[in-house]
Chains A and B, each alone.
Chain A
Amino acid sequence: MKSKFIYPILPLIIISLALEILVKTNFFPSYLVPAPSQVFKVLSFENLSLWKALGQTSLASILGFTISLVLGVLFAILLSTSKLIEKVFYPYAVFFQTVPIIAIAPLLVIWLGYGLPTIVASSIIVSIFPVIANTLTGLRSTEKPLLDLFRLYSANPKDTLLKLKLPFALPSVLVGARISSGLAVIGAIVGEFIAGGGIGEVVNVSRTQQRVDIVFAAVFLAALLGLAFFLLIDFISKATLKAWHASER
């Protein structure tokens, strides 16, 4: 368990040390790359507002992610009910993946106003597609003999969905959730650029003020948030699937 965390931290330490030396010896000017010690200082004392921003971004990301998960799964279930419905609506799901959020975020502000709703909407738009796509794949991957078995016992559609298809899709849903957890954070931050608040605003403001140290600190926190999300979903997947799914063994 210990070593598991040491491996990824090692390169961080090495890169930080190298960067520190390069910046302190003026190889890199500090207005372009901040010294890691300076970033650390920003993280530890200077900025309570930075941690407050992290809290806001976390809330928006969690909301965005949760709604993505619920809506994405429901949408995928709807798509899986018939080939026709899939043909008609799947392109709209793909739309979510290809939409340049930067371009429509200003519109979100006009529709939803400044504040949390816009940020959450941005988070959803960016993070919902992997849930839809993976859930759909999962729902389509039910073992055929088991579908036959349910047919043989004339199971009703509700039972077939809840007792067979959805549990079978669970590993895929969780793969989608893992991808979308990181995206939810990105979407929230993009939303904050436009609608204000959170890490997004901190990055925006400190960039304008040429405070690269704060920018780096904020980006670092955003990355940590994404990582925490990812690990949480990973933990949940392992806990739920441990008992039965081969890929998690």
Chain B
Amino acid sequence: MKLFLLLIPFFCFAKTKLALNWKPEPEFGGFYAAQNEGIFKKYNLDIELIPGGAGQPIVQMVAAGKVEFGIASGDEVVIARARGADVVSIFAVYQTSPMGIMVHESTGIKQFSDIFNTRLTVALEKGLPFFKFLEKNYDFKNIKVVPYNGGISEFLRDKNFAQQVFITAEPLSAKRENAKPKSFLIADSGYNPYNVVLVVKKSFLENNQKLVEAMAKASYEGWSHYQKSPGKTNVLMNKLNPTMDLDTFNKGAKLQIPLIKVKGIKIGHQNKTRWAKLIQQLLDLKLIDKTIESQECFKNLH
């Protein structure tokens, strides 16, 4: 009995976990701002931000209840739902997915489709849906696809090397290393899922309506703050992730502003049409084998 009483505080004060799918970078700036500026606290939230790494199955972790909140991409949410994992997106950071392809300026590539008419080695994550989308819509016979291993060292070494990037991150690093990169958004080719979406398990949402709502609102305030004044948050994130220098943090935060704030749409809001389009695209790509309800994928709570 005594032991039980002793254990109670641990349960009561257990933090709510938000699992990120990468190291602290500007794409998570709003969440760190909410932490740093006391916005979570204002909403009575005690959030632990857990940086992630390549290949972490965040959606599955959320579905299995290992963490309360997680960061994923829109297509991951659709695929997970089609496989029976009941996860819901409650906040979409990027209206335009920052996923892009970076090439060297010296290749003379002017537009997205030129990439496929140039003899290039392109590092892409073959498992990602956009890869299948590109494979379906472009002829790959000129390019050699190699695995994407993160980092830009091969890009810097080889003028005929191209790779997938978050246009708010790697191109900035490449410039710092005196390369002249040029980046193209994959969104412009027609595949544009919501990206960096905040997911939660549906049953958790239903049982903790208030907490999840507070999380959505705090995220909105955090991101609104970060969009305007990312400086202090960037200093904090730079301390947590010193591999990226502060200047790159600041430039990235500036670059991503238009991807996050689109005229007429409240930051973080999602709409049914876009989710439906994504579901259809994934069906066409055979990444899911049955359609799902677009309404079920998301919830605007702020």
Contact = CB atoms under 8 A, between A and B. Distances in A.
Does a CB–CB distance below 8 Å link A and B in the complex? yes
Given A205-B127, A210-B76, A29 B85 contact: yes
Interface of A: 29-32, 106, 109-110, 114, 193-196, 201, 204-210
A31 B125 contact: no
Nearest to A204: B127
A196 B151 CA distance: 16
Contacts of A201: 126, 147
Contact of B154 (A32, A110, A204, A210): A110
B171 to A, nearest CB: 20
Interface stretch (B54-62, B184-192, B214-222): B54-62
Interface centre among B80, B125, B144, B147 (most CB of A within 10 A): B147
B85 A114 contact: no
Contacts of B55: 204, 207-208
For chain B, the bracket of interface size reads 20 to 34
Contacts of B153: 106, 110
A32 B60 contact: yes
B21 to A, nearest CB: 12
15 contacts: A30-B84, A31-B63, A106-B149, A106-B150, A201-B126, A204-B126, A204-B147, A207-B127, A208-B125, A209-B127, A209-B129, A209-B287, A210-B57, A210-B60, A210-B83
B257 interface: no
Contacts of B151: 106
B83 A114 contact: no
B79 interface: yes
A204 B55 CA distance: 8
B146 A30 contact: no
A213 to B, nearest CB: 10
B147 A193 contact: yes
A32 B129 CA distance: 20
**3 closest Cβ pairs, A-B complex:** A208-B127, A205-B127, A31-B83
B157 interface: yes
A89 to B, nearest CB: 30
Nearest to B81: A31
B128 interface: yes
Nearest to A193: B147
B50 interface: no
Contacts of A209: 79, 127, 129, 287
B287 A29 contact: no
A190 to B, nearest CB: 12
Contacts of B129: 209
Contacts of B63: 29, 31-32
A209 B289 CA distance: 13
B257 to A, nearest CB: 29
B265 interface: no
B64 interface: yes
Nearest to B287: A209
A207 B128 CA distance: 10
Given A193-B147, A195-B146, A204-B55, 17 more contacts: A29-B63, A29-B64, A31-B84, A32-B63, A106-B150, A110-B157, A114-B144, A194-B147, A196-B145, A204-B147, A206-B127, A207-B55, A207-B57, A208-B55, A208-B126, A208-B127, A210-B83
Contacts of A210: 57, 59-60, 76, 79-80, 83
